[in-house]
A and B are shown apart, each in its own frame.
Chain A
Amino acid sequence: MSLTDKQYQEFDAIVGKKNISRDPGILDGYRYNLSHTAIHLGPHFDVLTPRGISVLLPGSTEEVQAIVKLCNKYKIKYKPSSTFWSAQGYPSDDNTIVLDMRRMDRILDIDAKNMVAVVEPGVIGATLQAETIKVGLNCHIQGSGCSCSILAGAAAWLGSGPGNLYGGWQYENLLGTEWVLPTGEVLRTGSLGYHDNSWYCGEGPGPSMRGVMRGMFGTKGSMGVFTKCAVKLHAWPGPQQIPVYGKAPAYTTKLPDNFRAFTLAFPDWQAWADTAHLLWENGIGYAAHRQFNFLGRDLKWGMIQILTDADKTISDLDNLINEPGFKEANDSMKIDFQIILAGMTQRDFDWQKETLDEILSITGGYIVECMETENIRNYTLLYLLRLGHKALNLVYGGGYDGNFGLINAIDFGSQRAEEVGDFKREWEKKGQIVAGGGDCMMGPIGGQGGGGTGLWENFTCFDSADKNSTDGALAFFDASFEYTKSKGWSGCGFEKLNSMARGYDGYATPKEVRDQGHANSPFAPAFRYQAKVYRSVNSNDMGDAYYEILED
């Protein structure tokens, strides 16, 4: 498929010739290589997502509207993406126009009084945070990191991250939104329905449009285009600029004494989960994540030493692991998580610290000694506050994906962590995936509203340039999916929902395959509801298969 010259000229007339291309060389820059990571899709060696038929860079809502209307007229699918993190942001069918939203990257307003920021799709976590802390506020940065679009995390995905504990999941922060519907009409949700410039509320007009609009897991660019949205901001009791010290990549910060990062560890998973519950009950903590364990239970102390020393590289790992004292240090944080305490005042911080100490005395937890050097503490602080090192996910061989999502009460995942680790450790013995020690589980300490749920990713790293490795990783993902299914673990389907949308060839899977998967999912009722929404607003089927629907 390709655009006719007449069609191309019509799109050109909307965005201008500098912002449109159908040169295959340009189009290939908008394909995703499924070899290295697909966020729960693959990996599929030597497979790229389909080449679009054109790329457009819209600069305004009006241009987006005009594009979408023209797509409807010619029955051409379109796929908007802001920062193109993972395969979900790329076309999954031929005859698709790619909308690269990077030109719409303005922060339209930071309303400090009402603690609201209004952003366009191209605004990323790093830039929004840099601006909001100037007025004493912080934004939630989703776990994919500060390189990713704030709007996409709120409207088009879940937006889980270390900041859940204090700021909720990103989708909970979604307020007024400007939505170019799949038909090209504009719907302005929440308080925007009453006043043109009132972004402070995401609900209504009438029933909650937030749920209708984004569905359960977010639309992932398949239901029209979100052109502006407001997100709730949270208190930032720190300086107007985060000071940064040290040499790349081992940057650290030094914040006032009302901030401090700790690595906590526990004798068993029950103590770990009990601590999470007590944190929520007492309302302490600013961010918390089981973070560095994604590097592997057996490797993390070595990697932490590499990441915090600019003179070291990954080629030092073997030496570090074999150094005297490594095993003791590494073993001291087998069952761990990182937490940041940030007091609104010094007195508040002192109270939080005392509370944390009390909690640890109850659960048997402790502060990990080797992580208490000033350098590592401040590295951890900066890491979790800005989330500017998330591409470390791919540090080992360029490939990673996560499984064993285990979304549920925090105890649910933690009670299964060792079993999950044992399962993976056996697969590591085959040699095709990185031998990290089985347990490579990473996840937030808190979900909705700061508490209540957990979400896990057991990191599986592989060499994306090595077919044997990617094949082994894929086989492992399939086996782990079958394992969780056989166990009847709630939420086990989470990590595989996306692969229902995209097959081994990079294209959308057949509808019957997706329906079967959705029907077997614990979220089937939600997908049935979303099908009704889909039929109401997307009758021309202009998006791709990422919006999860289940037809009756």
Chain B
Amino acid sequence: MALKDYAKEIERCSACSYCKWIPFDHVKSWRFAKNCPSIDYYNFNNYSARGRYLTSRSILRDEVKITDEIIDIAHTCLTCGACDVSCKICRYNLEPLEMVRELKAELAAKGNYPEAHKVMLKNIKEEANIFGISRKRRGEWAEGLNIKDLTKEKAEVVFHAGCSYSYDKKLSGTVKTAVEILNNAGVDFGIMGDAEMCCGAKIHSMGHHSEFDRLAKANIALWKRAGVTTIVTACADGYHAFKRLYPELGSNFTVLHIVEYIDQLIREGKLTFSNEVPMTITYHDPCHLGRQGESYEAWEGEEQKYKNQIVVHSPKKPRYNGINGIYDEPRNILNAIPGIELREMERIREFSYCCGAGGGARESYPEYSQWVAGERLEEAKATGAETLVTACPWCKTNFTDSLGDNAGFSVVDILDLVRMAL
């Protein structure tokens, strides 16, 4: 698909502004009713899905020059997908998230993207990670753990650590917990080590689709060569890429986030917690594990008219509206840990508020990205919790940076809590 393929959608957008709010039925307060970080921060209508439809219209019709403002309008979208969920409360024939991705791609194809993206792209091309750290160091986190190297050995399951867990030393304890759990459960698994490549989710969310395709195809080829059937990851971005985006390129592996694995082990009685963790916590649903963590469903069909002018699809088109993401599994784990008191925020599950790290915004619009994280932390604190728990390294890092030295509140990965409870 390309932006021009959304021309009809652009005309069909109702301009109702539902994309700016969580589903209205779920509004519990004035303070936490909004869902779109970019219009929350920038305020102009264009910074919402509704406005981006109009901006796209102007671009397609060549009615505006591509200014820095237009680049900002497109690339401040975190591609968190909250607009998509709210839009689909009432609409069955609009795909605002897909449209915005194509808007980014349309601009990116002509070199219209923030400077920070250029650096990230260069890093990806040269080192297969966005940080620009040598790819030879990608497997360092696993040194001494005695994990199979699937470029040389065979196993059914590959654990994909991802860029953040591989290179961020502050997260190495977390990722080690993940493999420890797999080991203890007797799972036959390995890693790709230095050969592992970035999943490409971030690049995809920035509109660089051909580079994403290159990374995805490389990872798929690696996995096929290693003979694996299942991909396990602890990264929400990676999960989204493997579960939802890779199948479009022919990938047909079973994909599990580590929380699904742990939840399954708990339910089967293979994992029990012996330590009490007396904490009052709240859980943040990562966008890419939650509403964008739904399985890919292949569809080939066409738009048709019914009863003269009702726009339908034949065959019935899959509907991604966030409800089938990974929500219960992390909560099951938290509720299984003795001593944990889980207090929910107002914006949860399919209408969770973003952490601010997505879409390349953390790197290109850092002040905005940190403000978004701060907004979410305010909501977390309002629950009375002392700790925010998440299941994504990007969320954790963005929250931790925003929190700074804020005493009395902490941000942890769900795996860190699991480790404490084991």
Contacts and interface: CB of A to CB of B under 8 A. Distances in A.
Contacts of A389: 24-25, 89-90
B269 to A, nearest CB: 29
A146 B20 CA distance: 13
Residues of A in contact with B, size category = 35 or more
Contacts of A392: 90
B25 A398 contact: no
Nearest to A468: B309
Contact of B91 (A146, A394, A434): A394
Nearest to B25: A251
Contacts of A23: 67, 69-70
A299 interface: yes
Contacts of A398: 11-14, 91, 93-94, 311
Given A314-B93, A463-B311, A29 B25 contact: no
A138 to B, nearest CB: 14
Nearest to B304: A315
A398 B307 CA distance: 14
Interface in A21-36: 21, 23-26, 28-33, 35-36
Interface in A402-437: 428, 431-436
Given A247-B323, A396-B311, A462-B309, A24 B25 contact: no
Given A23-B67, A23-B69, A57-B44, A395 B90 contact: yes
B85 interface: yes
B92 A395 contact: yes
Interface in A90-108: 100, 102-103, 107
Given A35-B11, A84-B15, A248-B23, A25 B308 contact: no
A466 interface: yes
Interface stretch (B28-36, B243-251, B372-380): B28-36
A332 B313 CA distance: 29
B57 A28 contact: yes
Contacts of A25: 46, 55, 58, 64-65, 67, 69-70, 73
A259 to B, nearest CB: 15
Contacts of A388: 23-25, 27, 89
B322 A29 contact: no
B285 interface: no
Interface string B42-58: 01111000010011011
A29 B11 CA distance: 13
Contacts of B89: 248-249, 388-389, 391
A123 B27 CA distance: 13
A529 interface: no
A24 B92 CA distance: 31
A237 interface: no
Interface string B1-39: 000000111011111111001011111111001000000
B88 interface: yes
B92 A315 contact: yes
B298 interface: no
Most buried by B among A146, A247, A313: A313
Interface in A116-157: 123-124, 126-131, 145-147
B14 A315 contact: no
B325 to A, nearest CB: 11
A100 B26 contact: no
B154 interface: no
Contacts of A130: 27-30, 33
A316 B58 CA distance: 34
Interface string B297-341: 000000001111111111111010111000000000000000000
Contacts of B313: 315
Interface string B167-209: 0000000000000000000000000000000000000000000
Interface of B: 7-9, 11-18, 21, 23-30, 33, 43-46, 51, 54-55, 57-58, 63-65, 67, 69-70, 73, 85, 88-94, 305-317, 319, 321-323, 350
Question: Closest 9 A-B residue pairs measured CB to CB?
Answer: A388-B24, A398-B12, A29-B46, A391-B90, A465-B11, A29-B51, A465-B8, A391-B16, A314-B92
5 contacts: A25-B67, A26-B44, A31-B54, A33-B57, A35-B11
